[in-house]
Structure 1
Amino acid sequence: MRQMPLPLTRDLVLIGGGHTHALVLRKWAMNPLPGARLTLINPGPTAPYSGMLPGFVAGHYSRDQLDIDLVRLAHSANARLIIGSATGIDPDSSTIQIDTHPPVGFDICSVDVGITSDMPALPGFTDHAVPAKPLGPFAAKWDAFRNGGGPASVAIIGGGVAGVELAMAMSHALQKRNRPATIHLIDNATALSALPTKSAHALRKAMTAQNVTLHEQTAITHLSANTIHLQDGTTIKADFITGAAGARPYPWLADTGLKTQDGFLTVNDHLQTSDPRLFAVGDCAHMTHAPRPKAGVYAVRQAPVLTHNLVSSLSGGPLKAYIPQKDYLKLISLGKKSALGDRFGLTFTGPWVWDWKDRIDRKFMWQFNDLPKMPAPALPYPRAKGVTQAMGPKPLCGGCGAKLGRDALSNALATLKPAQRTDITPLPGDDAALLHTGGARQVFTTDHLRSFWSDPAVMARIATHHALGDIWAMGADPQAATLSITLPRLSDPLAQRTLTEILTAVQTILQDAGADIVGGHSTLGDELTIGLAVTGLCDRDPITLNGAKPGNALILTKPIGTGVIMAALMSGKARGADVAGALDAMQHGQKTAAGLLRDAAQAMTDLTGFGIAGHTQNICTASGLSASLILDAIPLLPGALDLSESGQHSSLYANNRAGFSHIPDTPQTRLLFDPQTGGGLLAAVPADAAEHLVKTLRQNGHPHSAIIGHLHAGPVGQVSIT
């Protein structure tokens, strides 16, 4: 008997993708704890590294170089990544509230959410300034500003080290772009007061050389558009205003019921909060046993101790103490490729200090690019003939990439006898059946997805939208659904948590569509799969594949590329931002699009496993037509073409490609055979109505809608490209 996978029995949840948690994930990837399910919650698919922020602001690093790719990191650690912001922790119910997701349960939890430099107490700041933290939104807004043209004026509120670094970096960046720049640095007390006198003097001299105007002992009353109003009645004009002072914890931390100091979670020498199941690290934590300033060096050095203590808490082992060093090396960027170093009262500056800092920063980031890979288990020997060929050259994809090939499916369906009931209308080639019940017309369909993303709630949303696609494509209104769910082997508490997340996600989408869950079946197995059988009611003849007319335009409501992006995720080749974009697209429902297309569509289908070429061919075959696709008009998900050019493709690609040898093989044409999960609607509409429909679709939540081709008389089922 083969060994079943070990059941998952404990939930470890990391809130925030800060430096400490990033290192924990990397260590976990090399040595995971059997039986523990690891979850990371973060607002985005990446986390910026604060050490390289001044270099990015100055233009020495690209935006991509600034970011830790949490999607690749979580995938390497076999952790589920929930893209959303935690909004609360309830220790009594052991749950975490998230703005984009059903509540998540935990047994052990760690918080590493950093801090914010937002200044809500300063009137007008929220509306007219950009806080320097969190780093992600700040970096994006600065990138857009510095790439503008003409003279520029910038103001930074806060004369600490962070504000000084930003001021000089901004000055250097604008000078490099030959933009006349005015840089103001404003502090209500004495700037750089936390540094030794010698280092503070060196930084003041460097600011003067970079034409930064320093305003000290200067109180601000309020902000208005492009204006800072001072207490003495004067004003400072600035096109870009940021705040690097008043770093504060996120307000929701104080609402958890955990002990805090000035809003920061207090932790002991084991990095535990007042609830021993909850840990906190990085800038959001206050170490009561050894208070220290907020600095990334402490977060980095907390990682080995936190990893040990999380594993010990889950497995019943002893905890280690974290003892921070009393002083640390400060390397401060001077805008250009020069830096200042400070430690133990010594001050040193020059390009060599920048080179030193650059090597340290690049080494830190490199470890998240060079991720550990688990070797694939060797095939047994001896083995039956054909095993290697059946497995194929790459792992089986999930979602629609795991569908049976077209030939095998159609050949198997051909062995079925015709329907024997008179209340069933055969619809050859369509994915839903038409039933007649007491005078009502009802469409009935089923769909099932093998998981390709480790978050059950996201997979539930995708599976639900995917199954509803068949109902929307036939012009019906969703009515009821039953679920078929296979969970991986879990303890009862984890199974209940997981099933609750899935049911909550499914019910939310179904009820928005006007339908309800009416039953289902659940079981345990090797991996997560989610399926739905859905009914819909038609108050008119259903829209089928066989109603298209010569001259019809083909409209597609979503970009394509989910298959290649998720296949690249499995091999560690996809960018996290591109994966997040694909997931968003798959969770974008088609209710509005279906309503707009219903009256005009003469044939319609949802784009799924056979790719755009295969589904276009299905319409052509059923309607006795041929089609020409406009290759450059087909909308693509970000990253899809780059991945295709690099040789990435879904495990279903070869099956979808068969039979289209007349279409040339290029990176762009390969995407015609990319299997889609939760894809858009493909509708054949009268040509004279197509442009208006596309405009209306784009104005109503489907911005990528496009006319991608036309149908015409010709060899039945032939699909060509122009």
Structure 2
Amino acid sequence: MQMPLPLTRDLVLIGGGHTHALVARMWGMTPLEGTRVTLINPGPTAPYSGMLPGHIAGHYSREALDIDLVKLTRFAGARLVLGAATAIDPVAKVVTVAGHGEIGYDVASINIGIHTEMPVIPGFTEHALGAKPLDTYTSRWRDFLAAAQAGEVAPDVAVIGAGVAGVELALASAHALRAAVGPAARVAIIEAGPEIAGRNPETTRRLRTAMAEYGVAIHTRAEVVRIHADGVELADGEVIRSRFTLGTAGANAHGWLAGSPLPLTEEGFVTVDSHLRVDGHWDLFAAGDCAHLTHAPRPKAGVYAVREAPVLLHNLRAVLAGSGKTKAYRPQKDYLKLVSLGQKSALAEKWGRTISGPLLWRWKNRIDTKFMRMFQELPQMTPDKLPRALTDGVAAELAGEHKPLCAGCGSKVGPGTLSAALAGLPAIGRADVLTGPGDDAAVLALGGAKQVITTDHLRAFTDDPYLLAKIAAVHALGDVWAMGAAPQAALASVILPRMAQPLQARSMGEVMRAAQEVFGAAGAEIVGGHSTMGAEMTLGFTITGLVTGAAITNAGARPGDVAILTRPIGTGTLLAAEMLGQADGRDVAAMLTAMARPQGDAAALLAPHAHAMTDVTGFGLAGHMWAICTASGVAGEIEADAVPLYPGALALAEAGHRSSIWEANRAAAPVAGAEGARGALLHDPQTAGGFLAAVAAAEAGALVAALRAAGHDAAAIGRFTAGAPGLRAI
């Protein structure tokens, strides 16, 4: 049997720009085995700027612009680190990422684009924004358009800069405002130079005509001296009314890059040679608008970024493979400019010729949507076929489909199997061991004190050691917090995939840094552990905690108690779908962020009031509520509609996505009357799930309010009643 090949080199792609998105897609088709690929980006999506004017005009939804980096990196076999790069050290070969720390590399590439903010203009930071970064612009534009339509704000827009981008966005704004508020819409475009965009007089004439049709006021030779909340002040004293001021003039380098030790232009762009290699650094590349081509300077335009991708991919592979046979990028001398004209019409300019009309918009639309389909419809990489001859039961175990085993708590042994195994253990024979199997943690007597001890580990659902370690630490601490204990000490158990020593050091560094952040904040010390290499990454922790008074267990719930849940459910469904490339990256990113948040404060709020409490993990909400019912001798009712769900979980459950352990969970803790997707999610295995607590009905409302005020998505999701242990949905 072929063993997994060892990882020997780290390739880090800084930024999810067009070039890197294409590189990642091509990498997924033909990966270079032995390379660990990391993509760093502030968010889970990367917007395609070519469709921005169409979105502002109202022709495209916001989602239509987004490249889903979660799906893309899954396809590429890469890890996605969500965070903004803030520094790079090309000598130490590390990138610093906000909220993550340092990430080491052997070969790296930068593709972070530009911004069009103008902080040097007084009032810009307070009262205006740049067209790039695009996310902020589109969000604030939607808010402004809604406010203008509702009559809450004057429909006045000013665009600073009359280049192609400024003209397109002025026309798009005018089109959307006119549709929203009618002729009251006012759009102005301000240009410091003598004329608006256009490399030939015919282009300029047609753009002026298009703006005249929308009533866009054109101000040329106009110097902006100050921006106010309700207008733009010019050097001649004129104030142009504006409640939404947009900057498009010029292209500015991101501050961290402009302040880096890399070779830069006066404007702060990274200088690269003809092979897209950063000058003086054979292992560092740059592409797109953040790079300056010293051999063939070109304007900042997305067409160059797109065409750089195959060359960059070839060169990255050459350096990683040790061949060194890179090749040059030769940019085209001219390219077709397609300019949106507000309505579904466009202008085309090339070789000094200009034409315009609706047919050109359709052409542009086909080009743009074809580009986006490359990322929205990623090739389906078929898994290896099963052997013709199979042992009886293999096909049934795979449920008729060749699906991967789920990660996180979705890969746990089923609750029935585990209970049967634990039932065979002898009774506890030591007086200082106060509880046996079946609760969140064991309670030990140590002199006059009580200590709890628990262990937990997770099969990796992300290739990011730092993020996995944070979530694994929070997950393991849940057992200690749920029993009302204060975390004391932790032992780490780390299994890394086979990799070279430098990659081992980087991975272990990220794991221990993340774990220390979580345990240190919880008041616990990491005192040691064990590490090894294996087939895949698995992280876990053994934790002790100290209890003052009686530990909170599953026993103690009383008839009439309300069941409070502190965190949404749906992680198993989302993670199962993400493994298949079917989950929305924004939903996955939001869920992972929530999973990594510690819950000690939630436990502290509940502990003084909880008659019984547990953390909801692999056996699902129903399984853990069943455990409380069984230990307490009560029945339980779940209000399925009241259970908070992670965004995207319900739709994925309706589509039939289930975690590997789901069927076993449902069999072990049936819920009478539970139907449909919401009923299915009651058995969904949770990783780093919330707390389920039984509290007096009179205290439940105030506790939920306190939890929500502390930032937890808590809810009262049912109650405990008199009767034989069991569950029903109401």
The bucket for the TM-score relative to the shorter chain is over 0.9
CA drift of 1:181 comes to: 1.1
Q: Is the 8 A contact 1:486 1:529 kept in 2?
A: yes
Match of 1:153 among 150, 156, 162: 156
Alignment of 1:307-456 (within 5 A): 307-317=313-323, 318-392=325-399, 393=401, 394-427=403-436, 429-456=438-465
Q: Distance in 2 between the 1:111 and 1:372 partners?
A: 26
Distance 1:193 1:209 in 2: 17
Q: Is 1:49 equivalent to 2:48 in the alignment?
A: yes
1:584 equivalent in structure 2: 593
Deviation at 1:227, TM superposition (A): 2.7
Farther-moved stretch of structure 1 (706-715 vs 177-186): 177-186
Give the deviation of 1:427 after TM superposition.
Answer: 4.8
Aligned length: 719
Superposed CA deviations along residues 379-429 of structure 1, whole A, max 9, x for unmatched, are: 235343222223344321000001110110000000101122111101552
1:105-184 to structure 2, matched below 5 A, reads 105-148=104-147, 149-150=150-151, 151-179=154-182, 180-184=184-188
CA shift digits 1:154-183 (9 cap, x unpaired): 111111111110011011112222443111
**Do the aligned residues in 2 keep the contact of 1:13 with 1:38 (CA within 8 Å)?**
yes
Letter of the structure 1 residue corresponding to residue 673 of structure 2? I
**What is the one-letter code of the residue matched to 1:131?**
G
1:537 correspondence with 2:546: yes
- In the alignment, what sits opposite 1:217? 221
Q: Give the counterpart letter for 2:504 in structure 1.
A: A
Q: Distance in 2 between matches of 1:362 and 1:453?
A: 30
Picking from 257, 269, 276, the partner of 1:253 is 257
| Distance (whole Å) between structure 2 residues aligned to residue 86 and residue 187 of structure 1 | 33
Match of 1:242, SS state, is strand
Cross-structure match for 1:457 = 466
In 1, Cα distance between the equivalents of 2:165 and 2:404?
Answer: 46
2:555 pairs with one of 546, 553, 569: 546
Distance in 1 (alpha carbons) for counterparts of 2:189 and 2:639? 54
Rounded to whole Å, the distance in 1 between the matches of 2:195 and 2:46 is 29
User: Of the candidates 489, 507, 514, which is equivalent to residue 498 of structure 1?
Assistant: 507
Residue in structure 2 matched with residue 32 of structure 1 by the alignment = 31
Displacement of 1:141 in angstroms is 1.6
| Kept in 1: contact 2:440–2:553 (CA 8 A) | no
- 2:298 maps to 292
1:302 to 284, 308, 328: 308
Could you tell me how far 1:236 is from its partner in structure 2?
2.4
2:496 corresponding residue in structure 1 = 487
Between the aligned partners of 1:260 and 1:661, the Cα distance in structure 2 is: 64
Shift of 1:233: 2.5
Q: Which moved more, 1:580-589 or 1:281-290?
A: 580-589
| Residue aligned with 2:682, SS | helix
State the match for 1:668 in structure 2: 678
2:96 is paired with a residue of what secondary structure? strand
Displacement, 1:710?
0.9
- Note closer, same or farther for the CA distance 1:447–1:96 as it changes in structure 2 (3 Å cut): same
Percent identical across equivalent pairs?
52
Q: CA deviation at 1:189?
A: 2.0
| Cα shift readout 1:292-313 (whole Å, capped 9, x = no counterpart) | 0000100000001000000001
Q: Which residue pairs with 1:467 in the alignment?
A: 476
Aligned to 1:682: 692
Deviation for aligned residue 1:526: 0.5
Paired position in structure 1 for 2:649: 640
Q: Is structure 2 residue 262 aligned with structure 1 residue 263?
A: no
| Aligned counterparts of 1:600 and 1:564: Cα–Cα separation in 2 | 32
After superposing the two structures, state which structure 1 stretch, 139-148 or 548-557, moved more. 139-148
Aligned twin of 2:199: 195
SS of equivalent residue, structure 1 residue 380: coil
CA distance in 2, matches of 1:651, 1:663: 23
- In the alignment, structure 1 residue 280 sits paired with structure 2 residue 286: yes
SS at match of 1:339: strand
Do the aligned residues in 2 keep the contact of 1:109 with 1:279 (CA within 8 Å)? Answer: yes
Q: Tell me how far apart the structure 2 counterparts of residues 455 and 253 of structure 1 sit (CA, whole Å).
A: 24
Q: How far apart in 1 are the matches of 2:143 and 2:436? A: 52
1:324-360 alpha-carbon deviations (Å, 9 max, x no partner): 0110000000000000000001000000010110010
Q: Say whether residues 1:514 and 2:519 are aligned partners.
A: no
Asked whether the equivalents of residues 610 and 674 of structure 1 are also in contact (C-alpha less than 8 Å), the reply is yes
What displacement does 1:288 show? 0.4
Once the 2 structures are TM-superposed, how far is the Cα of residue 250 of structure 1 from its aligned partner?
Answer: 0.5
Q: In the superposition, relative to structure 1, how do residues 292 and 194 fare at CA in structure 2: closer, same or farther (>3 Å)?
A: farther
Distance in 2 between residues matched to 1:619 and 1:509, nearest whole Å: 28
Q: How far apart are the structure 2 equivalents of 1:119 and 1:135? A: 15
Output the amino acid matched with 2:392. Answer: K
- Partner Cα distance (1:448, 1:696) in 2: 31
CA contact (8 A) 1:32 1:77 kept: yes
Q: Give distance in 2, aligned partners of 1:204 and 1:193.
A: 9
The alpha-carbon distance between structure 1 residues 387 and 517, as it changes in their structure 2 partners (threshold 3 A), is: same
Secondary structure of the residue that 2:672 maps to in structure 1?
Answer: coil
2:93 alignment counterpart: 94
Q: Deviations over 1:107-128 (max 9, x none)?
A: 1000000000111111221121
1:653 aligns with 2:653: no
Q: Deviations over 1:265-302 (max 9, x none)?
A: 00000000121211000000000000000001000000
Distance in 2 between residues matched to 1:303 and 1:4, nearest whole Å: 32
Q: How much has 1:237 moved relative to structure 2? A: 2.6
How far off its partner does 1:569 sit? 0.5
CA deviations over 1:64-93 (Å, ceiling 9, x no partner): 111111110100000000011001110121
For the residue of structure 2 that corresponds to 1:592, the secondary structure is helix
Q: Distance in 1 between matches of 2:391 and 2:73?
A: 36
Give the superposition deviation at 1:666. 0.3
Report the AA paired with residue 682 of structure 1: L
Give the secondary-structure state (helix, strand or coil) at the position aligned to 1:654.
Answer: helix
**Unmatched tracts of structure 1, length 5 or more:** none
Counterpart contact for 2:167–2:197, Cα < 8 Å:
no
For 1:74 and 1:167, how far apart are their aligned partners in 2?
35
| SS of the residue 1:256 aligns to | coil
1:28-79 CA distances to partner (integer Å, 9 max, x unpaired)?
Answer: 0000001111110001000000100000110111111111111101000000
Residues 427 and 544 in structure 1, CA contact (< 8 A), matched pair in contact too: no
Instruction: Spell out, residue by residue over 1:593-650, the C-alpha distance to the aligned partner (whole angstroms, 9 max, x if none).
Output: 1111111111111110111111111111111111111111111111111111111111
What CA deviation, in whole Å up to 9, does each residue of 1:483-528 have, x standing for no partner?
1110000000001100100000001110000001000000000000
> Which 10-residue stretch deviates more, 575-584 or 386-395?
386-395
1:474–1:544 CA contact under 8 A, matched in 2: yes
Residues 364-384 of structure 1 show CA distances to partners (whole Å, capped at 9, x for unaligned) of 111112212332122235343
Rounded Cα–Cα distance in structure 2 between residues aligned with 1:6 and 1:193: 54
Listed one character per residue, the Cα deviations across residues 681-706 of structure 1 (whole Å, up to 9, x for unaligned) are 1111111111111111111121x111
AA matched with 2:706: T
What CA distance in whole angstroms lies between the structure 1 residues aligned with 2:385 and 2:364?
A: 43
Instruction: Answer whether contact 1:29 1:372 (CA < 8 A) is retained.
Output: no
Distance 1:534 1:647 in 2: 36
Q: Is the 8 A contact 1:469 1:590 kept in 2?
A: yes
SS of 1:425 mapped into structure 2: coil
